[in-house]
Structure 1
Amino acid sequence: MIGPPGYIRGAVSRGEPSFSDFQMQHLLPPNDRPGPPQILASDLMCKSTQSSQNYSQNFPRLEAHPGDHVALQYQENGHVTLLPNTPQKKTSGMIYIYGTERPRHDEKFLDVHKTWNGGSEGLNNRGKLLKTWSFDDGQCYQVNQGKVSLLRQERHPKAFVEPQGSDLWCQIDVRIPLTSRGTLTIYWVWDFSTPPSPDIPNGKAEFYTSCLDIKLAGEPRNYNVSFVKGQDINFAGIETQLVGGF
């Protein structure tokens, strides 16, 4: 990874005494919705604090070129290394990355998710599915005493580096379309829904989203990818995602 990092819309410092995960967490359907959990046609893709392209000097947007690969990083928070603690969950879920150059401040979740496809454009001709991947990237971990964490700490040792600390964050590596210009808005969607079971016959919908923007500058970069082994894992992409991965 090279160049300065960028952030999601409306990012706030985790170092603030008043910080809470709920300040940036967007859960669909919300826990306080009456009746069976379900996504409504009116549900928004972005949290209210992320409905516009709001950034700060400390938390700027990412800058890149068309054709560049970008790493979207996130913490697993035990949803990978401590998954057995939630036996109703069979996997850590899937990540969907959508891109558009024509975002809407009132973008509806269902207008995008499973509607925009990986072809030239989505069904409403505004955006496309850029990538899908498992929430578990195969190497990330939170430092704890779980079997998965201990195994990955051994396989993927790393130095303490801020802001990850001793943990190794998960990532999904996405290539910006060569044809993109101006600003590319990214919708990050995590499907962590619970499948049907005897205890939960109808399953339970559970989605989390984040919204961010990438300022595109300069000429497109159309290059072939070759992975350099032995990099500092704190700043390296993931080979299986970069070489032929969708």
Structure 2
Amino acid sequence: MTLLAGIGLLLCSLNLVNCHTWIEQLSLVDQDGQPVGDPGFIRGYVPRTTPGFVDGDNTYLLPQAPALTFQDSDLMCKLTQTQGNQSGGSVLMAPQGSSVLLRYLENGHITQPDVPPNKPTSGQVSVYATTQARDDDKFTAIHGQWTADKTGGDQRGLLLTSTPFDDGRCFQFDPTGHSEIATTRSNTFGPGPSITEAPNRWCGTTIELNDESGIPFANGTLLTLYWVWDWPSIVPGNPGTPPAILNETYTSCMEVEII
């Protein structure tokens, strides 16, 4: 890790900057679930080492301001994450039937559960797959619509998994020692297996590259993945009134080539 990238991650861990989350890498995994081989990257990926880097280079927040609710016009992907834009890194190459780990930093969303307030959990991750991606794919037509059996929505894609953002092992290193979660996980699991992660341990969402029937996608398939992280705020209401749910959702868009 370069000094510049290390400083950025340290600032996130100290909560001095507003750090959010995107898919850092896609990796094949070995029989123990550890990342192996050359990683792949999301469309339009901007490395943290890029001069002037800010997390907004990679994050895509929905609803889009000034809207407070999702709009039918909301795109699934950030405008810089259109098909074929691999300017910051290559597509992951995966043998047929592979397991793939989508890896991301928790950036304090797990280890600092009270920052910001009104976030009862670190949220939920959904991953969708399609071989018929469009640059104008709409968020509301896919998220919560595509199903594991591929019968939902317009049936162009399917839900591969829905799982907690917290994989139970990941953490952002806390040099202050104030985060009990970070300290416990650091002592229990240690930093991640790659030098890129240290002193942190990245989170991961594992997916199987199988279709709705459980059959591996064929060799030569270019499979598009949509990673969606829902992280709503639950704001208490006045006595006798229900809390307000304020949506905060992030997406990352990427491809895997089956070889």
Alignment of 1:69-148 (within 5 A): 69-144=99-174, 145=177, 146-148=179-181
Deviating more after overlay: 170-179 vs 135-144: 170-179
Q: Deviations over 1:140-195 (max 9, x none)?
A: 00001211000100111137733212100000110001342310100000000113
Structure 2 CA distance for aligned equivalents of residues 47 and 120 of structure 1: 24
Give the corresponding residue for 1:190: 229
Percent sequence identity over aligned pairs: 35
Structure 2 CA distance for aligned equivalents of residues 180 and 159 of structure 1: 30
Aligned-pair CA distance for 1:84:
1.7
Alignment of 1:28-67 (within 5 A): 28-30=62-64, 32-34=65-67, 37-56=68-87, 59-67=89-97
Q: Are the structure 2 counterparts of residues 157 and 55 from structure 1 closer, same or farther at C-alpha, using a change threshold of 3 Å? A: same
Q: Are the structure 2 counterparts of residues 86 and 216 from structure 1 closer, same or farther at C-alpha, using a change threshold of 3 Å? A: same
> Which structure's residues are more often strand, by fraction?
2
The alignment's C-alpha RMSD in Å is 1.7
Residue 205 of structure 2 is aligned to residue 168 of structure 1: no
Q: Are the structure 2 counterparts of residues 121 and 163 from structure 1 closer, same or farther at C-alpha, using a change threshold of 3 Å? A: farther
SS of residue in 1 equivalent to 2:161: strand
Q: Deviations over 1:116-156 (max 9, x none)?
A: 01114433120000001100000000001211000100111
Q: 2:254 aligns with which of 167, 189, 212?
A: 212
Whether the 8 Å CA contact 1:25–1:209 is kept in 2: the answer is: yes
The gaps in structure 2 that reach 5 residues or longer are 1-34
Aligned-pair CA distance for 1:201:
3.5
Q: 2:183 aligns with which of 127, 150, 153?
A: 150
The gaps in structure 1 that reach 5 residues or longer are 218-246
Give the corresponding residue for 1:27: 61
Structure 1 CA distance for aligned equivalents of residues 130 and 63 of structure 2: 23
Whether the 8 Å CA contact 2:192–2:202 is kept in 1: the answer is: no
TM-score of the aligned structures, taking structure 2 as reference length: 0.78
